[in-house]
Amino acid sequence: MHIEPGLVDGSKMLLSYATATAALGYTAKLAWDMLRHNGPSALLLRSAVAAALVFAFFEVFPHHPVGVSEVHLILGTTLLLIFGAAPAAIGLAAGLLVQSLFFAPQDLPQYGMNVTTLLVPLFATAALARRVIPADTAYVDLGYAQTFKLSVAYQGGIVLWVGFWAIYGQGAGAANLADIGRFGGAYMTVVLLEPLIDLGVLAIAKAWQRLQGSALVERRMYQAA
């Protein structure tokens, strides 16, 4: 997703700087926690791979402008399950920044809004995962219902944040609300597809046991908590 240029402007942009600072600050906290428990190699490796994947999601996967933003297949829950919260958050922030700097400079002023919209739902989804996934269940053994709940949380959070930025910047006029509705309706179709992709990736990981214990993937992929 990319907030359309001009949707929020002027002094209202200050809020996006504040929310982005908070989101990136929490990302730094997650990264520090992972460094203390896993060391730098796992964090750096997973973050780099996640960033490359995010860049591909934004630039290679189909994406279409709808209403107030663009519809992307971001696969945030996939990144979360494979790499963990800190690498997924770093990958989202870094992949978005690379795209904005070198391929879509018109999106750079909206970076604060975009990174907030990507990261805050990720943190909420990570918290939800701790509630809906039993402690004795490895991620490779998840079912559709569980991955669907995570996808609803992440994609729904993105829609809510985009709607917030649109109303914050342009008000609650009928035309703006209609554009938000069009975006939300188009984006929530991703909810149906993402859990299937998650299950497919997890099935591949389950069959490819050599990844167990690897620094490339989250330990919970193969082991219960």
Summarize pLDDT for 157-199 with one digit per residue, the tens.
Answer: 999 999 999 999 999 999 999 999 998 888 777 778 888 888 8
State how far the Cα of 31 lies from the Cα of 82, in Å rounded to an integer.
Answer: 16
Whether the CA torsion 193, 198, 201, 207 is positive or negative: it is negative
Q: Which pLDDT belongs to residue 176? A: 93
Q: What is the DSSP letter of 65?
A: E
Label residue 206 by pLDDT band (50, 70, 90): confident
Reported as half-sphere exposure (CB side, CA atoms, 13 A), residue 225 has a value of: 8
> Per-residue pLDDT for 1 more than 70?
no
pLDDT in tens, 26-61: 999 999 999 999 889 999 999 999 999 999 988 888
- The candidate with the shortest Cα–Cα distance to 82, out of 18, 139, 29, is 139
Q: Which pLDDT belongs to residue 47? A: 98
Reduced to 3 states (helix: H, G, I; strand: E, B; else coil), residue 222 is coil
- The candidate with the shortest Cα–Cα distance to 145, out of 206, 202, 199, is 199
pLDDT in tens, 58-91: 888 877 788 788 777 889 999 999 999 999 999 9
Residue range 143-156: mean pLDDT, rounded: 90
Cβ atoms of 147 and 195 within 8 Å: the answer is yes
Whether the CA torsion 22, 107, 117, 215 is positive or negative: it is negative
Strand partners, 64: 71
State how far the Cα of 184 lies from the Cα of 69, in Å rounded to an integer.
Answer: 10
Reported as half-sphere exposure (CB side, CA atoms, 13 A), residue 224 has a value of: 4
| Identity at 188, one-letter amino acid code | M
Q: What is the DSSP letter of 214?
A: -
Q: Which pLDDT belongs to residue 72? A: 79
> Per-residue pLDDT for 213 more than 90?
no
The tokens for 225 are: 């908590």
Q: To which H or E segment does residue 64 belong?
A: strand 64-66
Average pLDDT, the chain: 91
Cβ atoms of 220 and 139 within 8 Å: the answer is yes
pTM: 0.94
pLDDT in tens, 102-111: 988 998 999 9
